[in-house]
Amino acid sequence: MNSAMEVRFFDGRSTRPHAARLHVQGDQLLLAPAAGEDFEALRLPLAHLRWPERTRHGGRLLQLPDGASVQALDVVAWDAWVAQLGRSESWVVRAQQNWRGVGLAVLLLIGAIAVLYQWGLPWAARGVTAAVPVRVDALIGAEVLESIDQSMLLPSALPREHQERLRAGFARMVKAAHPDDAPAWKLEFRRGRDRRLGPNALALPGGTIILTDELVQLMPGDDDAVLGVLGHEFGHVRLRHAMRQLVQASAVGFAVSIAFGDYGTLIGSAPVLLATLGYSRDAEREADVESVRLMRAAGIHPRVMVGFFEAIERWRTEQKRAGADDDAIGLAFSSHPATAERIAFFREAPDN
């Protein structure tokens, strides 16, 4: 038996993480609840697991059957643990002797090489996303909203008039920038159950944008920056970034099931994947471009975003000092640090 690995376990039904420990025993993976957790321990044949790839940034997410998954707490420790497994256990060898394992590995490898070699992953994900019907985005969005409503959100306490003012302002911006090619969108006001989400906005697949009261209150009396953030989220909606990211995250596996019109896996694992993943820098840049386009259409100077980023940064620093977990939802606005490049983009954007 090798050493234990502390992980976050998601049961596939809610986005609430459970503390758990992983062990390997023979050719089985054991997932046991940490003290204070009460889910049932899992035992899974190692040969049936798809280990997450080592990527430069981003977490390690091991997907389990039924939409469940395990997330590494410490990426470096996780990689070392997996490497040690490969050396000390014979399960790799056994998996290779298992014909299903070999068949699947070869299929995945050929698929992955073909995709990477010919088109590159982001491009492929864009193509696959284009083939997914938009109603699938809406299904996933509804699923995710329900899941985070249960685990992280409460109804908004923002006065109704203020909500309506923001919604009308946003609608005007969208109409001005995209008179006849705007995708469907819906603005939902919420506040965080605890301090994890804080001032935030989040675009779900299907066009639902969640805006937290904390974000509206970050700069009281100044709704322009809030509209700028909504413009950014609208960019993610218009370009279907969340769906593209979902497709890309499990590229080949999803591509195969999507090719057969099977969206079950995609929908089932969406809440956890979206909670874990972040957007690429390119996606953030595209959303920022959209934000500037919308602000200009509404006569708002993009420079308002500079002060806003500073306010968000102050909030993050404060959170860190309080020892809070700041990666509540990977795709959410305040999980993307405002790089100098992004701030300069808004500062230097011309008025029109």
Residue number, 191 or 232, with CB nearest to Zn ion: 232
What is the side-by-side strand order in the sheet with 69-72? 42-45, 28-33, 18-25, 5-10, 69-72, 61-63
Residue number, 166 or 287, with CB nearest to Zn ion: 287
User: Bridge partners of 32?
Assistant: 21
Pull the structure tokens for residue 160. 């109704």
Contacts with Zn ion in 265-294 (CB under 5 A)? 287
Residue number, 67 or 192, with CB nearest to Zn ion: 192
Residue number, 148 or 287, with CB nearest to Zn ion: 287
For the CB of residue 215, give the shortest distance to Zn ion in the complex, in Å: 13
**C-alpha pair distances (Å), 269 with each of 62, 111, 168, 218, 291:** 11, 21, 34, 32, 29
For the CB of residue 79, give the shortest distance to Zn ion in the complex, in Å: 27
Q: Which residue has the tokens 């911006």?
A: 173
Name the E strands within 172-272. Answer: 186-192, 201-203, 208-212
Pick the closest to residue 287 from 340, 335, 333, 232 (CA basis).
232
Contacts with Zn ion in 201-260 (CB under 5 A)? none
Pull the structure tokens for residue 226. 């809030």
Residue number, 197 or 287, with CB nearest to Zn ion: 287
For the CB of residue 141, give the shortest distance to Zn ion in the complex, in Å: 16
For the CB of residue 160, give the shortest distance to Zn ion in the complex, in Å: 27
Contacts with 19 (C-beta within 8 Å, 6 or more apart), sequence order: 6, 8, 9, 33, 34, 35, 36, 37
DSSP at 12: S
CA distance 61 to 278: 13
CA distance 307 to 325: 24
For the CB of residue 205, give the shortest distance to Zn ion in the complex, in Å: 14
Q: How many CB atoms lie within 10 A of CB 114?
A: 12
For the CB of residue 84, give the shortest distance to Zn ion in the complex, in Å: 36
Residue showing the smallest CB distance to Zn ion in the complex: 287
For the CB of residue 134, give the shortest distance to Zn ion in the complex, in Å: 20
How many residues bind to Zn ion according to rule CB under 5 A?
1
For the CB of residue 170, give the shortest distance to Zn ion in the complex, in Å: 16
Residue number, 266 or 287, with CB nearest to Zn ion: 287
Q: Which residue has the tokens 């497994």?
A: 85
Residue number, 81 or 234, with CB nearest to Zn ion: 234
Residue number, 42 or 294, with CB nearest to Zn ion: 294
The binding site for Zn ion (CB under 5 A) comprises: 287
